[in-house]
Amino acid sequence: MRLDDRTAVVTGGASGIGAATCRVLAARGADVVVADLDEGRGAELVDEIERERDGAASFVETDVSDEDAVAAMIEHAETAFDRVDVLVNNAAVASREADGPITDFADDAYEFLTGVNLRGPMYACKHAIPAMRDTGDGTGVVVNNASIAALVAEPEMDIYTATKGALVSLTRSIAVEYAPEIRANTVCPGVVETPMLEAAMESGDAGEDSDAPDTLERMIAETPLGMADPADVAHVVAFLASSDAAAITGATIPVDGGYTAR
Ligand code: NAD
Protein backbone atom coordinates (compact mmCIF):
# COMPACT_ATOMS: atom_id res chain seq x y z
CA MET A 1 0.00 0.00 0.00
CA ARG A 2 3.08 2.30 -0.17
CA LEU A 3 3.04 5.01 -2.84
CA ASP A 4 6.75 5.80 -3.03
CA ASP A 5 7.89 7.34 -6.33
CA ARG A 6 4.31 8.27 -7.24
CA THR A 7 3.14 11.83 -7.79
CA ALA A 8 -0.46 12.72 -6.96
CA VAL A 9 -2.34 15.87 -7.89
CA VAL A 10 -5.24 16.62 -5.53
CA THR A 11 -7.68 19.37 -6.52
CA GLY A 12 -9.36 21.19 -3.67
CA GLY A 13 -6.43 19.86 -1.67
CA ALA A 14 -6.25 22.68 0.87
CA SER A 15 -9.34 21.77 2.92
CA GLY A 16 -11.52 18.98 4.23
CA ILE A 17 -11.40 15.65 2.38
CA GLY A 18 -8.80 16.99 -0.09
CA ALA A 19 -6.39 18.00 2.68
CA ALA A 20 -6.87 14.65 4.42
CA THR A 21 -6.16 12.93 1.10
CA CYS A 22 -2.93 14.90 0.66
CA ARG A 23 -1.84 13.92 4.19
CA VAL A 24 -2.60 10.21 3.74
CA LEU A 25 -0.99 9.97 0.28
CA ALA A 26 2.15 11.74 1.53
CA ALA A 27 2.27 9.51 4.63
CA ARG A 28 2.50 6.57 2.23
CA GLY A 29 5.40 8.14 0.39
CA ALA A 30 3.72 9.93 -2.54
CA ASP A 31 4.79 13.38 -3.62
CA VAL A 32 1.68 15.54 -3.56
CA VAL A 33 0.59 18.59 -5.50
CA VAL A 34 -1.96 20.57 -3.48
CA ALA A 35 -4.07 22.41 -6.09
CA ASP A 36 -6.58 24.90 -4.73
CA LEU A 37 -7.92 28.44 -4.91
CA ASP A 38 -6.86 28.98 -1.29
CA GLU A 39 -3.17 29.80 -1.29
CA GLY A 40 -2.93 30.45 2.48
CA ARG A 41 -4.30 27.08 3.58
CA GLY A 42 -2.53 25.30 0.73
CA ALA A 43 0.85 26.72 1.71
CA GLU A 44 0.26 25.80 5.37
CA LEU A 45 -0.56 22.22 4.40
CA VAL A 46 2.56 21.97 2.23
CA ASP A 47 4.69 23.09 5.20
CA GLU A 48 3.00 20.54 7.46
CA ILE A 49 3.48 17.68 4.96
CA GLU A 50 7.13 18.60 4.37
CA ARG A 51 7.71 18.50 8.16
CA GLU A 52 5.69 15.45 9.11
CA ARG A 53 5.24 13.08 6.17
CA ASP A 54 7.41 10.85 3.98
CA GLY A 55 6.48 12.39 0.63
CA ALA A 56 7.19 15.94 -0.55
CA ALA A 57 4.51 18.53 -1.33
CA SER A 58 4.02 21.58 -3.52
CA PHE A 59 1.15 24.07 -3.80
CA VAL A 60 -0.22 25.43 -7.07
CA GLU A 61 -2.99 28.02 -7.10
CA THR A 62 -5.66 26.57 -9.38
CA ASP A 63 -9.21 27.35 -10.37
CA VAL A 64 -10.34 24.03 -11.82
CA SER A 65 -13.07 25.72 -13.86
CA ASP A 66 -10.34 27.48 -15.91
CA GLU A 67 -8.70 25.18 -18.47
CA ASP A 68 -5.49 27.22 -18.70
CA ALA A 69 -5.11 26.99 -14.92
CA VAL A 70 -5.68 23.24 -15.01
CA ALA A 71 -3.08 22.79 -17.78
CA ALA A 72 -0.66 24.86 -15.66
CA MET A 73 -1.46 22.64 -12.64
CA ILE A 74 -0.32 19.52 -14.50
CA GLU A 75 2.79 21.32 -15.84
CA HIS A 76 3.54 22.37 -12.26
CA ALA A 77 3.40 18.73 -11.12
CA GLU A 78 5.73 17.62 -13.91
CA THR A 79 8.17 20.43 -13.16
CA ALA A 80 8.14 19.85 -9.40
CA PHE A 81 8.18 16.05 -9.36
CA ASP A 82 8.91 14.95 -12.98
CA ARG A 83 5.73 12.94 -13.40
CA VAL A 84 2.01 12.55 -12.76
CA ASP A 85 0.68 9.16 -11.60
CA VAL A 86 -2.50 9.94 -9.67
CA LEU A 87 -5.21 12.56 -10.16
CA VAL A 88 -7.76 13.10 -7.40
CA ASN A 89 -10.63 15.26 -8.65
CA ASN A 90 -11.87 16.45 -5.29
CA ALA A 91 -12.61 20.19 -5.66
CA ALA A 92 -16.30 21.01 -5.74
CA VAL A 93 -18.79 23.60 -4.63
CA ALA A 94 -22.22 23.15 -3.10
CA SER A 95 -24.66 25.94 -2.45
CA ARG A 96 -28.17 25.48 -1.13
CA GLU A 97 -28.64 29.20 -1.69
CA ALA A 98 -27.71 29.26 -5.40
CA ASP A 99 -28.95 25.72 -6.09
CA GLY A 100 -32.47 24.45 -5.43
CA PRO A 101 -35.34 22.44 -6.83
CA ILE A 102 -35.39 22.33 -10.63
CA THR A 103 -38.30 24.79 -10.84
CA ASP A 104 -35.90 27.42 -9.42
CA PHE A 105 -33.21 26.60 -12.00
CA ALA A 106 -30.95 29.55 -12.83
CA ASP A 107 -28.28 29.73 -15.52
CA ASP A 108 -25.69 31.47 -13.33
CA ALA A 109 -25.95 28.77 -10.65
CA TYR A 110 -25.66 26.10 -13.34
CA GLU A 111 -22.55 27.74 -14.82
CA PHE A 112 -20.93 28.07 -11.36
CA LEU A 113 -21.69 24.56 -10.11
CA THR A 114 -21.02 22.67 -13.33
CA GLY A 115 -17.91 24.78 -13.99
CA VAL A 116 -16.24 23.58 -10.82
CA ASN A 117 -17.86 20.18 -10.23
CA LEU A 118 -17.91 18.79 -13.77
CA ARG A 119 -15.90 20.87 -16.25
CA GLY A 120 -13.11 20.97 -13.65
CA PRO A 121 -12.68 17.17 -13.50
CA MET A 122 -13.06 17.00 -17.30
CA TYR A 123 -10.25 19.53 -17.81
CA ALA A 124 -8.11 17.77 -15.24
CA CYS A 125 -8.55 14.36 -16.91
CA LYS A 126 -7.89 15.92 -20.33
CA HIS A 127 -4.51 17.22 -19.18
CA ALA A 128 -3.49 14.63 -16.58
CA ILE A 129 -4.14 11.44 -18.57
CA PRO A 130 -1.57 12.27 -21.30
CA ALA A 131 0.93 13.12 -18.55
CA MET A 132 0.24 9.75 -16.86
CA ARG A 133 0.73 7.96 -20.18
CA ASP A 134 4.02 9.83 -20.68
CA THR A 135 5.49 8.02 -17.66
CA GLY A 136 5.37 4.80 -19.73
CA ASP A 137 4.48 2.81 -16.60
CA GLY A 138 0.87 2.04 -17.57
CA THR A 139 -0.27 2.54 -13.98
CA GLY A 140 -2.09 5.89 -13.97
CA VAL A 141 -5.00 6.40 -11.59
CA VAL A 142 -7.95 8.80 -11.51
CA VAL A 143 -10.08 8.99 -8.38
CA ASN A 144 -13.13 11.21 -8.66
CA ASN A 145 -14.89 12.42 -5.55
CA ALA A 146 -18.65 12.48 -6.16
CA SER A 147 -21.21 12.12 -3.37
CA ILE A 148 -24.07 9.98 -2.16
CA ALA A 149 -26.08 12.64 -4.00
CA ALA A 150 -25.09 10.70 -7.13
CA LEU A 151 -26.73 7.55 -5.74
CA VAL A 152 -29.82 8.67 -3.82
CA ALA A 153 -32.00 11.76 -3.93
CA GLU A 154 -30.70 14.86 -2.22
CA PRO A 155 -33.67 17.17 -2.65
CA GLU A 156 -33.29 20.88 -3.39
CA MET A 157 -29.72 20.64 -4.66
CA ASP A 158 -30.62 19.54 -8.16
CA ILE A 159 -27.65 21.05 -10.00
CA TYR A 160 -25.13 19.74 -7.47
CA THR A 161 -26.78 16.31 -7.62
CA ALA A 162 -26.70 16.30 -11.42
CA THR A 163 -22.99 17.22 -11.50
CA LYS A 164 -22.19 14.36 -9.13
CA GLY A 165 -24.26 11.85 -11.12
CA ALA A 166 -22.49 12.95 -14.29
CA LEU A 167 -19.12 12.49 -12.59
CA VAL A 168 -19.97 8.84 -11.87
CA SER A 169 -20.89 8.30 -15.54
CA LEU A 170 -17.78 10.12 -16.75
CA THR A 171 -15.61 7.94 -14.53
CA ARG A 172 -17.01 4.75 -16.04
CA SER A 173 -16.33 6.01 -19.57
CA ILE A 174 -12.76 6.96 -18.69
CA ALA A 175 -12.21 3.57 -17.05
CA VAL A 176 -13.19 1.77 -20.26
CA GLU A 177 -11.58 4.22 -22.70
CA TYR A 178 -8.14 4.27 -21.07
CA ALA A 179 -7.80 0.70 -19.72
CA PRO A 180 -5.43 -0.90 -19.05
CA GLU A 181 -3.03 2.05 -18.67
CA ILE A 182 -5.34 4.15 -16.50
CA ARG A 183 -7.73 3.02 -13.75
CA ALA A 184 -10.59 5.37 -12.85
CA ASN A 185 -12.95 5.04 -9.88
CA THR A 186 -15.41 7.17 -7.97
CA VAL A 187 -15.82 7.55 -4.23
CA CYS A 188 -19.19 8.73 -2.94
CA PRO A 189 -18.87 10.23 0.54
CA GLY A 190 -21.88 10.56 2.81
CA VAL A 191 -21.88 13.09 5.63
CA VAL A 192 -18.29 14.10 6.37
CA GLU A 193 -17.21 16.70 8.90
CA THR A 194 -15.53 19.39 6.75
CA PRO A 195 -15.69 23.18 6.28
CA MET A 196 -18.13 22.60 3.36
CA LEU A 197 -20.50 20.80 5.70
CA GLU A 198 -20.04 23.34 8.49
CA ALA A 199 -20.88 26.16 6.04
CA ALA A 200 -24.01 24.33 4.93
CA MET A 201 -25.08 23.86 8.55
CA GLU A 202 -24.91 27.57 9.30
CA SER A 203 -28.34 28.93 8.55
CA GLY A 204 -26.80 32.24 7.42
CA ASP A 205 -25.09 30.54 4.50
CA ALA A 206 -28.10 28.50 3.59
CA GLY A 207 -30.64 31.30 3.98
CA GLU A 208 -32.92 31.99 6.92
CA ASP A 209 -35.80 29.92 5.62
CA SER A 210 -33.58 27.02 4.65
CA ASP A 211 -34.09 23.59 6.14
CA ALA A 212 -30.44 22.72 5.50
CA PRO A 213 -29.48 22.21 9.17
CA ASP A 214 -32.55 19.98 9.68
CA THR A 215 -31.67 18.04 6.55
CA LEU A 216 -28.12 17.46 7.70
CA GLU A 217 -29.20 16.48 11.22
CA ARG A 218 -31.58 13.97 9.65
CA MET A 219 -28.84 12.61 7.36
CA ILE A 220 -26.46 12.19 10.30
CA ALA A 221 -29.18 10.45 12.32
CA GLU A 222 -29.88 8.12 9.38
CA THR A 223 -26.21 7.18 8.92
CA PRO A 224 -25.66 3.84 10.72
CA LEU A 225 -21.99 4.58 11.42
CA GLY A 226 -22.55 8.29 12.08
CA MET A 227 -20.71 11.22 10.55
CA ALA A 228 -17.38 10.34 8.91
CA ASP A 229 -14.02 11.99 9.33
CA PRO A 230 -12.24 13.32 6.19
CA ALA A 231 -9.49 10.75 6.79
CA ASP A 232 -12.06 7.94 6.40
CA VAL A 233 -12.56 9.00 2.78
CA ALA A 234 -8.85 9.70 2.26
CA HIS A 235 -7.91 6.12 3.19
CA VAL A 236 -10.25 4.75 0.52
CA VAL A 237 -8.80 7.17 -2.05
CA ALA A 238 -5.28 6.04 -1.09
CA PHE A 239 -6.28 2.38 -1.47
CA LEU A 240 -7.70 3.08 -4.95
CA ALA A 241 -4.51 4.97 -5.85
CA SER A 242 -2.36 1.99 -4.85
CA SER A 243 -1.54 -1.25 -6.64
CA ASP A 244 -3.66 -3.08 -4.04
CA ALA A 245 -6.60 -1.88 -6.17
CA ALA A 246 -5.00 -3.09 -9.44
CA ALA A 247 -8.17 -4.97 -10.48
CA ILE A 248 -10.61 -2.18 -9.64
CA THR A 249 -11.70 0.24 -12.34
CA GLY A 250 -14.99 1.91 -13.25
CA ALA A 251 -16.26 1.28 -9.72
CA THR A 252 -18.47 3.56 -7.65
CA ILE A 253 -17.68 3.15 -3.97
CA PRO A 254 -19.92 4.65 -1.29
CA VAL A 255 -17.95 5.87 1.74
CA ASP A 256 -21.10 6.80 3.55
CA GLY A 257 -21.26 4.97 6.87
CA GLY A 258 -24.09 2.84 5.49
CA TYR A 259 -26.40 5.73 4.51
CA THR A 260 -27.27 4.25 1.10
CA ALA A 261 -27.64 0.74 2.56
CA ARG A 262 -30.87 1.72 4.26
P1 NAD B 1 -14.28 21.81 1.48
O2 NAD B 1 -15.14 22.98 1.17
O3 NAD B 1 -13.79 21.56 2.85
O4 NAD B 1 -13.03 21.79 0.50
C5 NAD B 1 -13.18 22.06 -0.87
C6 NAD B 1 -11.91 22.71 -1.37
O7 NAD B 1 -12.09 22.95 -2.77
C8 NAD B 1 -11.60 24.06 -0.71
O9 NAD B 1 -10.24 24.11 -0.28
C10 NAD B 1 -11.85 25.07 -1.82
O11 NAD B 1 -10.99 26.20 -1.76
C12 NAD B 1 -11.56 24.22 -3.06
N13 NAD B 1 -12.18 24.75 -4.27
C14 NAD B 1 -13.43 25.26 -4.40
N15 NAD B 1 -13.60 25.69 -5.65
C16 NAD B 1 -12.46 25.45 -6.32
C17 NAD B 1 -12.02 25.69 -7.63
N18 NAD B 1 -12.82 26.31 -8.53
N19 NAD B 1 -10.78 25.31 -7.99
C20 NAD B 1 -9.96 24.72 -7.08
N21 NAD B 1 -10.31 24.48 -5.82
C22 NAD B 1 -11.55 24.84 -5.44
O23 NAD B 1 -15.15 20.54 0.96
P24 NAD B 1 -15.16 18.99 1.34
O25 NAD B 1 -16.36 18.78 2.18
O26 NAD B 1 -13.83 18.51 1.78
O27 NAD B 1 -15.52 18.37 -0.08
C28 NAD B 1 -14.56 17.74 -0.91
C29 NAD B 1 -15.29 16.89 -1.91
O30 NAD B 1 -16.10 15.92 -1.24
C31 NAD B 1 -16.23 17.65 -2.84
O32 NAD B 1 -16.16 17.08 -4.14
C33 NAD B 1 -17.60 17.41 -2.23
O34 NAD B 1 -18.63 17.52 -3.17
C35 NAD B 1 -17.41 15.98 -1.76
N36 NAD B 1 -18.37 15.59 -0.72
C37 NAD B 1 -18.31 16.13 0.54
C38 NAD B 1 -19.23 15.70 1.49
C39 NAD B 1 -19.23 16.24 2.92
O40 NAD B 1 -20.10 15.84 3.70
N41 NAD B 1 -18.32 17.09 3.31
C42 NAD B 1 -20.22 14.77 1.15
C43 NAD B 1 -20.25 14.26 -0.13
C44 NAD B 1 -19.32 14.67 -1.06
What CATH architecture applies to the domain 7-194+230-253?
A: 3-Layer(aba) Sandwich (3.40)
166 contacts: CB under 8 Å, gap ≥ 6: 118
CA–CA distance, 17 with 231 (Å, rounded to integer): 7
CA of 136 to the centre of ligand 1 (A): 31
Which of 196, 201, 233, 253 most suits a substitution to test ligand 1, by most atoms within 8 Å of the C-beta?
196
CA of 92 to the centre of ligand 1 (A): 4
In this structure, what DSSP letter does residue 194 have? S
- Which residue has a Cα nearest atom 3 of ligand 1? 16
Per residue in 59-97, pLDDT (tens digit) is: 999 999 999 999 999 999 999 999 999 999 999 999 888
pTM above 0.85, yes or no: yes
Per residue in 160-203, pLDDT (tens digit) is: 999 999 999 999 999 999 999 999 999 999 999 998 888 876 64
CA of 36 to the centre of ligand 1 (A): 10
- Which residue has a Cα nearest atom 12 of ligand 1? 12
Q: Is 136 helix (H, G, I), strand (E, B) or coil?
A: coil
Our answer on whether the CB atom of 232 is closer than 6 Å to any ligand 1 atom is no
Q: Where are the alpha helices (DSSP H) in 28-153?
A: 39-52, 67-81, 107-114, 120-134
Q: Where are the domains of the chain?
A: 7-194+230-253
